[in-house]
Amino acid sequence: MTSAVTLSDLHRTFGQVAALDGLTWSAPVGRITAVLGPNGAGKTTAIECAVGLGRPDRGTVRVLDTDPWQAGAEHRARVGVMLQAGGLPNGTRPLRLLRHLSRLYADPVDVDAVARRLGVTDFASTTVRRLSGGQKQRLALAASLLGRPEVLFLDEPAAGLDPHGRLDVWDLVAEQRDAGTTVVVTTHSFEEAERLADHLVIMNAGRTVAEGTPDSVTGGRSLEDVYFSLTRKGAA
């Protein structure tokens, strides 16, 4: 199967800390790849390298056959990103922001439809600064879809959402996959990984400790068991 995203032997060090220590995984085209790992495993650093916000000290990153570091606007238009920190301007209202961001694309999706779908219309009159964590998540997810991306990077998209909100997000992510989009989701939730993943990556201490289809990774055991046995402190 061809891959839309390939990270090969990535090393990235911050001071004395090796955030990525020979990280290798790939995300197959048109599938959902879930990346699981404890805090500090290097998930966010890996996503930053994949979207061109960071550059590995060593190793190669390919996204849609392009090196994302300083890639051009056409490449960035093909990649949708939802960052953990959000990155949304604070002083504006949600729909004004989405309309603005949609103008950066030649043929964006219908802003009102996406906003309705993610419930952004329910808090349209609140400035971004005053949104709850869950509302910000929905808005950031809506923003990531505006340019009809071929690859979608979602850094913990359902974190902080209530059960209904999580279900909405999962349905939407599955829909994107069904429309042919490659999705990479980082998560701490076994439930999320089990529900969504066509392809599973487990990271620990800057490396990949398991990768494959969910069945091949778990081998009949529960995902939770496999995860803890691979990521407990001292596990190699």
The residue ranges that bind other proteins (CB under 8 A) are 1, 28-31, 51-53, 73-74, 76-79, 81, 83, 85-92, 96, 100-101, 103-109, 147-150, 177-178, 180-182, 198
Q: What is the closest distance, in whole angstroms, from the C-beta atom of residue 51 to other proteins in the complex?
A: 5
Residue 176 or 231 having the CB closest to other proteins: 176
Helix (H) / strand (E) containing 40: none
Residue 190 makes CB contacts below 8 A (sequence gap 6+) with 36, 223, 224, 227
| CA gap 144, 112 in Å, rounded | 14
Residue 106 or 236 having the CB closest to other proteins: 106
| CA gap 199, 217 in Å, rounded | 9
Q: What is the closest distance, in whole angstroms, from the C-beta atom of residue 198 to other proteins in the complex?
A: 6
> Which amino acid is present at 108?
P
Q: What is the closest distance, in whole angstroms, from the C-beta atom of residue 187 to other proteins in the complex?
A: 18
Q: What is the closest distance, in whole angstroms, from the C-beta atom of residue 232 to other proteins in the complex?
A: 30
Q: Are 202 and 230 in contact (CB under 8 A)?
A: yes
| CA gap 51, 58 in Å, rounded | 16
Q: What is the closest distance, in whole angstroms, from the C-beta atom of residue 110 to other proteins in the complex?
A: 12
What does residue 111 show for φ and ψ, rounded to 5 degrees?
-60, -45
Residue 53 or 230 having the CB closest to other proteins: 53
Residue 31 or 166 having the CB closest to other proteins: 31
Look at residues 8, 9, 3, 46 and name the one whose alpha carbon lies nearest to residue 27: 3
Q: Are 176 and 152 in contact (CB under 8 A)?
A: yes
Residue 67 or 178 having the CB closest to other proteins: 178
